[in-house]
Amino acid sequence: MYDLLIKNTKVVDGTGAAAYHADVAVSGGRIAAIGRLTDQSKRLIDASGLIVAPGFIDPHTHYDTQICWDPLITCSPWHGVTSVMMGNYGVGIAPCRPQDREIVTWDLVNVEAIPF
């Protein structure tokens, strides 16, 4: 018995292959089977008209500061992003020496339009 069975979905597998219709079974947090499945599951989702795809990684974000006031780091999850990389654009605010806080704050004012 699967933990989850997603029926009647279109699968986009991330390999570049064409999308195809299938069912997707999950057990123990991992994909257990893909195809036309008839096995039982603890939970069933009818995904007719929907797509199942792997999570997406956003390698270029500006969340270094946004995470401070937006713990959901919207809008990445709205677009299917499941993993983000933070700190890669050079205006991180931590750690910051006390004597540098004002200049870092002004940098955020100028670059990100964040009020001082």
For 40-70, write each residue's pLDDT tens digit.
999 999 999 999 998 888 877 777 777 778 8
63 and 24 within one domain: no
In the chain, the number of structural domains is 2
89 and 74 within one domain: yes
Domain that holds residue 88: 56-112
pLDDT score for 89: 60
62 and 34 within one domain: no
Q: Which of 84, 101, 81 is nearest to 92 (CA)?
A: 101
85 and 70 within one domain: yes
- Higher-confidence residue of 63 and 28: namely 28
pLDDT score for 74: 81
76 and 32 within one domain: no
CA 67 vs CA 7, 12, 17, 39, 40: distances in Å: 36, 30, 35, 42, 41
8 and 48 within one domain: yes
Query: Is the pTM of the predicted complex or chain greater than 0.85?
Result: no
